[in-house]
Amino acid sequence: MAKAKHGNVAIFVPHNGCPNMCSFCNQRTISGQSAQPDGEFVRKTCEDALNSMTVDPQNAQIAFFGGSFTAIDRALMVSLLQAAAEYVETGKFAGIRISTRPDCIDEEILSILKRYHVTDIELGAQSMDDRVLRLNRRGHTAEDVEKASRLIKQAGFSLGLQMMVGLYGENRGDIPSEGADKTLTERTMYTAERIAALKPDGVRIYPTAVLKGTELARLFEAGVYFPPSVDMAVECCADVMEFFEKKNITVLRVGLHASETVEADVIAGVYHPAFRELCDNELYFRKILRIVEKKADKKAKIYVEPHSISKAVGQKRKNIVRLSSLGYDVCICPREGVAAGEIETES
Ligand code: SF4
């Protein structure tokens, strides 16, 4: 089997018994149902990955995800890191990445992470608006995100930041509303701008899905929370992606991982198994529109890299239909050498 170039070995570390009460999290309702990995599990997972030859050790990392890695029991955290570090020290994997909360980073924790060859740290910032953080019971402030980000960068780690779109208090109609004149995109861009100022190496954008058993589900059912539709979230995330692109900040992910568990638990809000593709469709639409708008005859032949034809055309030919309804006649063709996400046209 061919080796994947940048495959990571992903190990989910639940925060069983988490004392926080984030509005979007169903940890409390599923508490105890997620098995906690131990050092042996880490070793077995790494061995399985190496044996299946699906990863290239030169590029692959061991990724502990779950969102609160440095907040779990300290002895457990160290035992997981020790097991993973053996594979980095013997050159079998390139490094270790973790994700955690901004208020669970300090110099002492960073020195432990460094000792065990962690290279990348992602923080769940979620919002940089203290009002939104408070309404969603995150238990940390925007300043915590800034302070943790500075420490992470100063210590030489790669920094990733995660943000959410459409949390409680960000949407028109949410009660209590403040600044009701602001759109979801304006509120989201505020967070994106403060995140960009921290100069992360990458960002992940998660539109809010309302899961059963969460505080958001209660607020939604009580009629005080109005999460965005998929279409609104696509519009907003495309704006944010364009913004990060201009700032040369890599967007590592947009939308939740497709999963049957999430699908079964979503009662409202934004969940689509191919959410990023919808955003990529929108970005292509905008780029094509900017070209064809300048054509006096309203016609254009657009070239994209061969693998991106379906993204440029859109799901169910949505982009072609939209352009046609605006009176434009656009032909989208493959051309080798066009950069991913870019378009070319005849001059
Ligand atoms: S999202 Fe919040 S409530 Fe859920 S596990 Fe993480 S810190 Fe705890």
Reported confidence tier of residue 3, pLDDT bands at 50, 70, 90: very low
Domain count, the chain: 2
Q: CB of 57 closer than 6 A to ligand 1? A: no
Q: Return the CATH number at 148.
A: 3.20.20.70
**What is the percent of the chain with per-residue pLDDT over 90, rounded to a whole number?**
82
pLDDT tens digit string along 119-137?
A: 999 999 999 999 999 999 9
Q: What DSSP string runs through 56-98?
A: -TTT-EEEEESS-GGGS-HHHHHHHHHHHHHHHHTTSSSEEEE
Query: Do 192 and 136 lie in a common domain?
Result: yes
Least confident of 2-6, 307-311, 339-343: 2-6
Q: Mark which of 254, 273, 292 sits at the end of a domain.
A: 273
In a domain, 78, yes or no: yes
pLDDT tens digit string along 192-214?
A: 999 999 999 999 999 999 999 99
CA dist 300 and 329 (Å) reads 7
> Ligand 1, from 24, 25, 145, 164: best to mutate by most atoms within 8 Å of Cβ?
25
CA of residue 22 to ligand 1 center, whole Å: 6
Query: Do 238 and 134 lie in a common domain?
Result: yes
The whole domain housing 298 covers: 284-345
Query: Do 238 and 316 lie in a common domain?
Result: no
Q: Which atom of ligand 1 is nearest to the CA of 15?
A: 5
Query: Do 117 and 247 lie in a common domain?
Result: yes
Query: Do 340 and 246 lie in a common domain?
Result: no
42: closest CA among 96, 94, 1? 96
Structure tokens at 92: 């079998």
In a domain, 2, yes or no: no
Per-residue pLDDT, averaged over 255-281, amounts to 91
